[in-house]
């Protein structure tokens, strides 16, 4: 038997638990290639117990590891082994990979680092220089959810659409492929997946107006192989010459009006899965553009393939089946969340299923061979539908949740009952685990909506007069009902097994290790629960809520748990918009093992608040600024200028002086604050500035007020 990596030898120490021995032997037997990250189809199909070779660990993406050195008896001894600073305050959503002694991680702006998994020593870092101005097109921060490994290479997808294959030994790029046309506001935040020599990746952009597609590329060369469009294109332009051509006519029949004018949307921005036996690739698809169905497809229609699970032939990318979870979707329920496979005994026979808990609040169990609905039930309160008709597989819509100009309160909201935070499944307990969220949001159609390229094109809002009053009152009522949990769901019985209430939304992805459930929480901790009943067993303060999916691995007979702790992304935006921001440490990769005693440095004390400048602008100017701010800046800097990536009520004297250079001149472009000169005039910038000064004075100008008053 040849050693894979001379620098990280596998030393089978005495006294290892059986499982560890098996894992080491398994890894050794599979060795053929001596390069790092020597991952081939055979290893991806049956990864050794101690390794984490792909995003969901196994093709079925259960995020289950059989490792159990850390267990109910020993977990009390779990401590921090090492950590690595990620040099960012932005959200970090990546699931790291662990391959033969090396941890490969991806941080904000797609920066990839390889670490010695034993001690955190950085082996190399690769920064793809994702253009900071492209950050404006990512709805929810410049995050990446993970990496793929293939034959000595680590494959990365960047925000601006590049697939880059890095030499796993050096971090040097081997090939680069631009996956999308930059004339549309596409972005990539999902993890690429490698299936039998192909890399498969989708894209985001449906909120702004991009025509979503999934593409497959040769994993050795980056050459494009097939492409499947989620929505039909402009009929006057003829076929796309893509794998999806065979079903675009069928899809087009479900749309009305000039849907192609804003590109349809349907972004497949996250989950992609593969069944190597059925040779099918599955992906979830997103919302449409605009979100308001009456604007998108006037006169109705299901609008295929929005908010669906689609199965295509892995070789050709051709359509095999689809299941549309929300026909004519208009509440921003994209259906991209984790697709988890299992073989479950249902009604006396073993079914090959796909499990899915998308934003719409229902837990779906589908036959993954045919796409037929086996069962569905709501895992959080749901008002948009009264249930899913088991005969037709279609939702029974609640007409009261269909909105027009009159504001209506609906749950779930755009945050989703469950969002991208990876779901896990334990073959032992036969339960699925995921963070869930009860969010109520007011919806109404903006009567003055006009789509604009490269801008948010929801079609919502425009509240004035009575509608505005009603909206505020309804939203207040909705906010009171907000709740968040870690949920354990029985997919066979379609019912709740247990739930742990957590303080607020934004709890992280889930890992099951042996009989333990591991999750980052909004208590700013990593927490461990008993998989059978949710009993809390262990919790560690992480100084920032870990939203990413944790992993576990075995090295030299020692089990580790690794997670990125970098609060940010869409959940943080929702929380910040409500003024709920916590002091937090910069993002870090944290790695734990038994009997380790490392500690995190103390959090820096909050900086003194700078005295806001006096307000000299007129009320009209402040009003104008408020409207422009809400439209252009609130996404990143928080509603009412509270919190966000940088709290603009707290600008220093110097920042006030540089305000226009920053907002129009692109002075802080390298930090992700691109110029807005293309859509704002100098007068606009002055009005926004006036509004921000007014907000700072309102909250603590004359020595009064405090940060938590919103």
Pattern 581-620, ligand HEC, x by CB under 6 A: ----------------------------------------
Q: Which residue has the tokens 């329920």?
A: 333
Picking from 705, 686, 679, the residue whose alpha carbon sits closest to that of residue 208 is: 679
CA distance 692 to 573: 18
Residue number with CB closer to ligand HEC (280 or 680): 680
Q: Whose CA is closest to 100, among 38, 17, 193?
A: 38
Q: Give min distance, CB of 633 to ligand HEC, in A.
A: 3
Shortest reach from residue 542's CB to ligand HEC, in Å = 20
Query: Of residues 629-658, which lie at the interface with ligand HEC (CB under 6 A)?
Result: 632-633, 635-637, 645-646, 648, 651, 655
CB of 247 to ligand HEC, least distance (A): 35
Q: Is the dihedral of CA 571, 577, 578, 583 positive or negative?
A: positive
* Given 8, 323, 498, 659, the residue binding ligand HEC (CB under 6 A): 659
Q: Which residues contact 181 (CB under 8 A, 6 or more apart)?
A: none
The residue among 555 and 635 lying less far from ligand HEC, judged by its C-beta, is 635
- Could you give the CA distance from residue 630 to residue 642 in angstroms, rounded to a whole number? 12
Binder of ligand HEC out of 558, 673, 690, 693 (CB under 6 A): 673
| Residue 671 sits in the site that holds ligand HEC (CB under 6 A) | yes
Span interacting with ligand HEC, options 474-482, 529-537, 564-572, 662-670, rule CB under 6 A: 662-670
Q: Which stretch binds ligand HEC (CB under 6 A): 50-58, 501-509, 547-555, 668-676?
A: 668-676
The residue assigned the tokens 């006096």 is 614
Specify the residue, 203 or 337, whose C-beta has the smaller distance to ligand HEC.
203
CA 67/CA 19 separation, integer angstroms: 7
We find the least distance from the C-beta atom of residue 161 to ligand HEC, in angstroms, to be: 17
In the complex, the smallest distance separating the C-beta of residue 664 from ligand HEC, rounded to whole angstroms, is 9
Which CB atom, from 25 or from 664, has the smaller least distance to ligand HEC?
664
Show which residues are catalytic.
332
At residue 68's C-alpha, the angle toward residues 66 and 74, to 5°, is 165
Q: Looking up tokens 């790291």, which residue turns up?
A: 96
Candidate residues 340, 663, 687, 690; the one interacting with ligand HEC per rule CB under 6 A: 663
- 293-308 burial by CB neighbour count: b if 16+ within 10 A, else e? bbbbbeeebbbbbbbb
- Name which of 136 and 504 has its Cβ closer to ligand HEC: 136
CA-closest candidate to residue 285, choices 207, 337, 215: 337
Burial class (CB in 10 A: 0-12, 13-18, 19+), 559: buried
CB of 573 to ligand HEC, least distance (A): 10
Residue span binding ligand HEC (CB under 6 A) among the ranges 106-114, 564-572, 610-618, 667-675? 667-675
Rank residues 303 and 632 by Cβ distance to ligand HEC and give the closer one.
Answer: 632
Nearer to ligand HEC, 619 or 678 (CB): 678
Nearest approach, Cβ of residue 686 and ligand HEC (Å): 11
- Distant-in-sequence contacts of 634-639, Cβ < 8 A, 24+ apart: 634/577, 635/139, 635/456, 635/573, 636/141, 636/573, 638/573, 638/576, 638/577, 638/579, 638/581, 639/576, 639/577, 639/578, 639/579
* Residue closer to ligand HEC, measured from CB, 153 or 637: 637
Which of 150, 175, 179, 152 is closest to 164 using CA atoms? 175
Number of residues that bind ligand HEC (CB under 6 A): 22
How many alpha carbons fall within 13 Å on the CB side of residue 434? 32
Closest CA to 291 of 270, 265, 256, 310: 265
**What region does 101 belong to: left with phi over 0, alpha with psi -120 to 50, or beta?**
left
Query: CA-to-CA distance for 703 and 592, rounded, in angstroms?
Result: 44
Return the number of the residue (483 or 668) whose C-beta is nearest ligand HEC: 668
Within 96-155, the residues that bind ligand HEC by CB under 6 A are 135-136
Residue from the set 78, 340, 688, 693 that interacts with ligand HEC by CB under 6 A: 688
**How near is the Cβ of 631 to ligand HEC at its closest, in Å?**
9
Q: How far is the CB of 651 from ligand HEC (least distance, A)?
A: 4
Q: Does 676 bind ligand HEC (CB under 6 A)?
A: yes
The rounded distance, in Å, linking the Cα atoms of 241 and 554 is 46
Give the binding site for ligand HEC (CB under 6 A): 135-136, 632-633, 635-637, 645-646, 648, 651, 655, 659, 662-663, 668, 671-673, 676, 680, 688
């Amino acid at each position: 038997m040849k050693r894979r990596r001379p620098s990280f030898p596998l030393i089978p120490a005495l006294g290892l638990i059986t499982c560890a021995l098996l894992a080491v032997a398994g890894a050794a037997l599979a060795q053929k290639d001596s390069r790092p990250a020597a991952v081939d189809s055979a290893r991806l199909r049956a990864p050794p117990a101690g390794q984490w070779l792909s995003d969901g660990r196994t093709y079925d993406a259960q995020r289950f590891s059989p490792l159990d050195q850390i267990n109910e008896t020993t977990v009390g001894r779990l401590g921090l082994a090492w950590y690595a600073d990620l040099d960012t305050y932005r959200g970090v959503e990546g699931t790291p990979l662990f391959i033969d002694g090396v941890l490969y991680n991806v941080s904000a702006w797609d920066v990839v680092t390889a670490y010695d998994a034993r001690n955190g020593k950085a082996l190399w870092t690769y920064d793809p220089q994702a253009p900071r101005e492209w950050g404006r097109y990512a709805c929810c921060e410049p995050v990446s959810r993970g990496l793929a490994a293939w034959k000595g290479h680590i494959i990365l997808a960047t925000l601006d659409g590049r697939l880059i294959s890095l030499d796993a030994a050096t971090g040097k790029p081997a090939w680069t492929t631009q996956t999308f046309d930059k004339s549309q506001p596409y972005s990539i935040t999902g993890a690429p997946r490698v299936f039998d020599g192909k890399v498969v990746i989708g894209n985001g952009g449906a909120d702004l107006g991009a025509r979503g597609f999934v593409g497959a590329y040769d994993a050795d060369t980056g050459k494009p192989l097939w492409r499947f469009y989620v929505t039909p294109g402009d009929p006057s332009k003829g076929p796309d010459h893509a794998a999806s051509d065979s079903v675009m006519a069928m899809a087009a029949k479900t749309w009305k009006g000039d849907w192609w004018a804003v590109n349809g949307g349907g972004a497949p921005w996250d989950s992609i899965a593969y069944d190597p036996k059925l040779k099918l690739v599955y992906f979830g698809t997103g919302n449409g553009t605009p979100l308001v169905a009456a604007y998108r497809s006037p006169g109705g229609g299901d609008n295929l393939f929005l908010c669906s699970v689609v199965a295509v032939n892995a070789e050709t990318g051709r359509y095999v089946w689809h299941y549309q979870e929300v026909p004519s979707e208009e509440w921003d329920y994209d259906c991209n969340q984790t697709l988890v496979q299992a073989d479950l005994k249902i009604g006396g026979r073993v079914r090959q299923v796909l499990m899915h808990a998308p934003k719409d609040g229902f837990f779906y169990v589908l036959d993954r061979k045919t796409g037929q609905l086996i069962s569905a039930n709501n895992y959080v309160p749901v008002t948009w539908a009264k249930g899913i008709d088991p005969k037709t597989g279609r939702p029974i819509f609640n007409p009261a949740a269909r909105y027009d100009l009159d504001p209506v309160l609906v749950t779930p909201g755009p945050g989703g009952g469950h969002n991208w935070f990876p779901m896990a499944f334990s073959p032992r307990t036969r339960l699925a685990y995921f963070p869930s969220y009860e969010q109520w949001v007011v919806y109404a159609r903006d009567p003055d909506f006009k789509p604009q390229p490269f801008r948010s094109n929801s079609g919502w809002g425009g509240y004035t007069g009575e509608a505005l009053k009603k909206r505020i009152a309804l939203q207040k009522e909705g906010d009171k009902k907000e709740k968040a949990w870690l949920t354990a769901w029985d997919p066979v019985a379609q019912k709740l097994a247990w739930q742990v209430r957590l303080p607020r939304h934004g709890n992280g992805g889930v890992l099951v290790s042996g009989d333990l459930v591991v999750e980052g929480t909004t208590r700013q901790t990593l927490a461990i629960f008993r998989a059978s009943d949710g009993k809390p067993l262990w919790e560690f303060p992480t100084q920032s809520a870990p939203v990413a999916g944790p992993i576990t691995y075995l090295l030299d007979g020692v089990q580790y748990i690794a997670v990125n702790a970098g609060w940010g992304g869409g959940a943080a935006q929702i929380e910040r918009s409500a003024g709920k921001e916590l002091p937090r440490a910069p993002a870090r990769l944290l790695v734990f093992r038994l009997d380790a005693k490392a500690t995190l440095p103390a959090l820096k004390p909050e900086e003194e608040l700078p005295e806001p400048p006096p307000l000299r602008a007129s009320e009209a100017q402040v009003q104008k600024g408020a409207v422009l701010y809400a439209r252009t800046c609130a996404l990143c800097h928080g509603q009412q200028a509270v919190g966000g990536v940088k709290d603009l009520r707290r600008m220093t004297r110097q920042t006030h002086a540089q305000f226009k250079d920053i907002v129009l001149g692109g002075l802080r472009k390298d930090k992700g604050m691109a110029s807005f000169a293309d859509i704002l005039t100098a007068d606009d910038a002055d009005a926004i500035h006036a509004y921000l000064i007014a907000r700072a004075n309102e909250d603590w100008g004359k020595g009064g007020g405090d940060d938590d008053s919103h």
